[in-house]
Every structure is written in structure tokens, then in C-alpha cells.
Amino acid sequence: MTTELYLLACTLVLAIVQIMLASILRTRETGGAYNTGPRDDSGPPVGKLTGRMQRAQKNLYETLPLFMGAVLIVAIAGRESALSFYGAWIYFLARIVYVPLYAAGVPVLRTLTWLISLIGMLMVLAAALLPF
């Protein structure tokens, strides 16, 4: 398995962790009976931390398909390079850092971290597209 595919798998684990974080926090707010029931009403308002974790999860889901596609193209086409290697690492590490920054409500640094993850993803895509 290439490093890029390994980091894609790790990013999928991160996605599962983010699902669980948001779910656990929301269950604390609503209670287990509400969460396991039909949830016909909206339940109590979403708390600050829960909302942040839900938004962080949604944010990951906006870029994850693109990262996944870029990594798969690189792997299938045999286009692994230093560019894709470092790009995948940058994307993955930035996505990890993004979660606690969002949880803490850190505004500018969080956005810069998102931008760094985007740059990492673009590096992987560039490895797939640029002639070497």
C-alpha cells in the first residue's frame, strides 16, 4: 500500500471519529431515549460545542471526496511522487489539527489550517495531472 492510500485510510478513520464526537455530544444534550427514538421533533437546541463538531464534520465531508479522488487517481495511475506524498501528509495532518481548533472556536488559525489542507489536496491532484 502506498503512503497516499494509507493516509486516505487514516482520513476515513478521522471521519469516523468526527461522526462519533458529534454524535456523543448531541446524545449528551438530548438523552439516549431521544437519540434512539424516531426523532420526530428537533429536540433541544444544539449546543455550541456540538454545533462546532457538526460543522467540522460537514467541512471534512466537503473536501474528503476530492482528496479521495485525487489519491485514487495517483495510486491507480502510478503517479506517486514527493508531491503526492507530502500533499497527502499535509492534508491529513491539517485535518487533524482543524478539529480541536474548531472545537475551541479559534477563528483565523482554523481558517488557515483549512487552507493548508486544501493546498495539500491540490498537491496530490497536481501529482496526478502534471507531467513528470
In this prediction, residue 11 carries a pLDDT of 98
The CA–CA distances, whole Å, from 10 to 1, 36, 105, 106, 125 equal 13, 29, 25, 24, 18
DSSP state of 105: T
Q: Which domains does the chain have, with CATH numbers?
A: 3-129 (1.20.120.550)
In this prediction, residue 129 carries a pLDDT of 96
In this prediction, residue 10 carries a pLDDT of 98
* Residues sharing a CB contact under 8 Å with residue 117, sequence separation 6 or more, in sequence order: 63, 90, 91, 94, 95, 98
Taking the model in full, what pTM does it have?
0.94
Is the pLDDT confidence value at 118 over 80? yes
Is the pLDDT confidence value at 132 over 80? no
